[in-house]
Amino acid sequence: MNYHFDWTPIWAARGLIAEGLLLTIALSAASLALSTIIGLIVGGAATAHSRTVRACALFFTETMRNIPLLIHMYIWYMAFSFLRLPAFSCAVLGLSLYSGAYVAEVVRAGIGSVGRGQMQAALATGLTGLQAMRYIIYPQALRIIAPSLASLFSQLIKDSSLASVIAVGELTYQAGAIDGQTFRTFEVYITISLIYLVLVTAASQLVLLIPGSRSEAAAGRFADA
């Protein structure tokens, strides 16, 4: 293979790369926030006493998780085309619903790992069910599930690349545009891969800043060993 690397076109296209990076960060941050909210609500509903509420939570998680993310992108983009909803908003919605279903399952498992006596003790002090979940159960569950959330949020950042199929100008979309202009495929995608690596690593470390999450992660690695 007689291929000579030339990074000059990549440097010349740094403006497009920076634009794609900023949009990827915005897309990932918005989707991360919304998917977390969805996950906390649906995950809590999955542990409710009401069978109807639990069934609705199960229906949501199974439906959202079993539809490929690429199809999510197309569905929401086409569904809201008559409202002229921006492609960015459609991508956030698709990513959030898809990732939120996975977050919900992790949250459900985290809540289940907190002893039942915690809820009973909280209710005995006069707290309502919602207050007990907010102040007693969720804080403990979040410390337990932080390593799993870090993995999910890392996956969300990588999944954001699929927004390129509906013309959202994030990193992957810009990489395709630069490749089409320069024909420096290896240089373009090596650069983009390194940027994704930095983003995913940073996101994982930020989630692990949750108090107590590092000890849970270490315990998990020790148990696996």
CATH number given to 8-219: 1.10.3720.10
Whole-Å CA distances, 104 to 72, 181, 195: 18, 42, 28
pLDDT < 70 positions in the chain? 1, 115, 207-208, 210-225
Task: Locate all alpha helices (DSSP H) within the chain, ordered by sequence.
Answer: 8-12, 14-45, 51-65, 69-79, 87-113, 116-124, 129-132, 138-159, 171-182, 185-207, 213-224
pLDDT at 1: 58
Residue 43's nearest CA partner among 101, 117, 115, 121 is 101
Whether pTM exceeds 0.75 = yes
pLDDT at 210: 60
Contacts of 183 (CB under 8 A, 6+ apart): none
pLDDT at 82: 83
* DSSP secondary structure letters along 28-53: HHHHHHHHHHHHHHHHHHTT-S-HHH
- Can you tell me whether residue 114 is helix, strand or coil? coil
pLDDT at 92: 96
Give the start-to-end residue ranges of the domains of the chain.
Answer: 8-219
CB contact at 8 A, 96 and 35: yes
CB contact at 8 A, 69 and 159: yes
